[in-house]
Amino acid sequence: MNAYTAVRPAETEVPAPARKSAEDQDLLRAAGKIARDLGKPNAAIYYADLIACVVLGYGALALTIASATWGLKLALGAFAVLALYRALGFIHELSHLNPRAMPGFRRFWNAIVGVPLMIPSFMYEGVHNIHHARTRYGTAEDPEYLPLALMPPRMLVLFLLTSALAPVGLLLRYGILAPLSLLSRKFRRIVVERYSSLVINPAFRRDPKERMAHKDWPLWEALTSVYAIGWLALTATGTLHWSILLTVMAVISGVAVLNQVRTLVAHLWENEGEQMSLTQQFLDSANVPPPNPLAAIWAPVGLRYHAIHHLLPAVPYHNLGKAHRALMQQFGTQSTYNRANYTGLWTLCRGLVSSSFRKHAGR
């Protein structure tokens, strides 16, 4: 078994029409070879990268809180957002990483990132994998897909604005709903189904039975709940000045908004619910490879190679650049593969907004 795995075989079964596609077969053959060569995660890279992000992020956050100058406070806060955004990005790796490949890394990440940012890994694990199921991608069963390009432009604005309220929702989820859910089995079911997943599809409901498959879910939920209650209690009693909590929430909000911008351009969002072939799924996703220097900032931890990731979910983030170069060398600039490569954030945003306006022109 590959050390870095995506989803169970049953979840990745390809529909019959997709198996007959010559393009799919070419992509799968190339992907299979690259996955074998580049599928092993490097623990030293993971730990060094994560630790550096956490030290810089929390250090900048502490200086943001301590600073008395608004200009310096904003600059340090922005730096904290970028560093912690990258640290949070490892939750995506955790959803694919086989725990046996790097024992303890999941616990380490939850302890220093998941709990402090109130986003423990169980909120993504088991959910993101459905997005990679080839028979569910882009359908109503996909928790991470909406046909945004076909929706009115105001929905794109709403999509971004709602993410700014993420810290408020997280404080409510863990500081209030989590302890209250212990008093009612019915309410507990609602909390697990609707408020325990990082999704963009509002119709998605998590299977409550899945909670039993995550053995450490109760631990991380309890620790995050205690953490959130602590913030609320210390602020309410005046032990901590309210400005400290607001600063922390502002930074988490910045992380959420930046992630939402990145999500907005991760796909073309043009599917209306039909099953898609592997090639269609690949072309509905986007890469922003070098030489664009900013993509590593707004799409860190390999997320700049989102289309490749959908083709090669078994390749860890630090090898996706190598995978891209190998695929470009094999297929060339005139290939289907190259159609998933874009020059930057602005190009993708402009395409999405244009699609939305064209669809709803005159309405």
Please return the burial class of 352, using the count of CB atoms within 10 Å of its CB with bins 0-12, 13-18 and 19+: buried
Q: Measure the CA–CA gap between 226 and 323, rounded to whole angstroms.
A: 42
How high is the pLDDT of residue 18?
40
Tracing tokens 């699609």 back to the chain, one arrives at 355
With cut-offs at 50, 70 and 90, classify the pLDDT of residue 2: very low
271 has pLDDT over 90: yes
Flag whether 350 is in a domain.
no
Average pLDDT, the chain: 90
Flag whether 237 is in a domain.
yes
Flag whether 358 is in a domain.
no
212 has pLDDT over 70: no
How high is the pLDDT of residue 362?
57
Flag whether 36 is in a domain.
yes
How high is the pLDDT of residue 98?
86
Contact 129, 7 (CB under 8 A): yes
The secondary structure of the chain in percent helix, strand, coil, rounded to multiples of 5, reads 65, 0, 35
Higher pLDDT, 305 or 126: 305
Across the range 221-237, mean pLDDT stands at 98
Flag whether 94 is in a domain.
yes
Closest CA to 300 of 78, 87, 38: 87
19 has pLDDT over 70: no
Helix (H, G, I), strand (E, B) or coil at 8: coil
Flag whether 353 is in a domain.
no
Higher pLDDT, 32 or 80: 80
Higher pLDDT, 16 or 358: 358
pTM of the model: 0.91
Flag whether 2 is in a domain.
no
Across the range 203-229, mean pLDDT stands at 88
- The number of beta carbons lying within 10 Å of the beta carbon of residue 325 is 12
Flag whether 360 is in a domain.
no
Please write the tens of the pLDDT for every residue from 123-170: 999 899 999 998 999 999 999 999 999 999 999 999 999 999 999 999
Please write the tens of the pLDDT for every residue from 56-83: 999 999 999 999 999 999 999 999 999 9
Which domain covers residue 303, as residue numbers?
A: 9-345
Please write the tens of the pLDDT for every residue from 85-137: 999 999 999 999 988 889 999 999 999 999 999 999 999 998 999 999 989 99
Looking at the 3D structure of the chain, how many domains does it have? 1
